[in-house]
Amino acid sequence: MLHGVWHFSFTVSDLDKSVAFYTEQLGLELIHAQEQSNEYTSKLVGYPQAHLRIAQLVVPGQPRGRSTHDLELVEYVQPRGTRGEAEICNPGAAHLALTVDDIHDRYARMTAAGVRFYSPPNAITAGVNTGGFTCYLEDPDRIVLELVQPPLRTQGEAS
């Protein structure tokens, strides 16, 4: 039986740079960081002598489920990896969508800080989120993120 989502994880090239992005630009909170270089980790990831740096982050104020964190960032110190094709149309590509309350303000602030967006916020004109806004952006490793400002719902309306 499936019980829920434990966390999402992204492999990054520079953990410190990525933690700064996710905390300073998106407002996530770093709750734990560690290095792992042990037999268990090597077996888990399938690389002998694996050495990983890990950061665990949360969306502040959200209830915790079974896990203590929402997002895990992993830097492979050993073995070092290289980024493959980062195009979002490629099979295996993924993105993480985060909700915000003022997408236009956040877009302006993040653009001024040099964050790469695919477009300004777009009005959602079809589907269950009609009336909201959304846009895609990239983190320092070109991992795709989506900001969503959900539509205002009237009382009694399904969400």
* pTM greater than 0.85 (yes/no): yes
Cα–Cα distance measured from residue 84 to residue 94, given in angstroms and rounded to the nearest whole number: 13
Cα–Cα distance measured from residue 56 to residue 8, given in angstroms and rounded to the nearest whole number: 10
In this structure, the number of other CB atoms found within 10 A of the CB of residue 114 comes to 7
Write the pLDDT tens digit of every residue in 29-70: 999 999 999 999 999 999 999 999 999 999 999 888 788 999
Which band of pLDDT confidence, cut at 50, 70 and 90, is reported for residue 158?
low
Tell me, what's the pLDDT at 84? 86
CATH class of 95-149: alpha beta
- CB contact at 8 A, 69 and 32: yes
> Domain residue spans in the chain?
8-78, 95-149
Q: Which CATH architecture has domain 8-78?
A: Roll (3.10)
DSSP characters over 50-69? -EEEEEEEE-TTPPP-SSS-
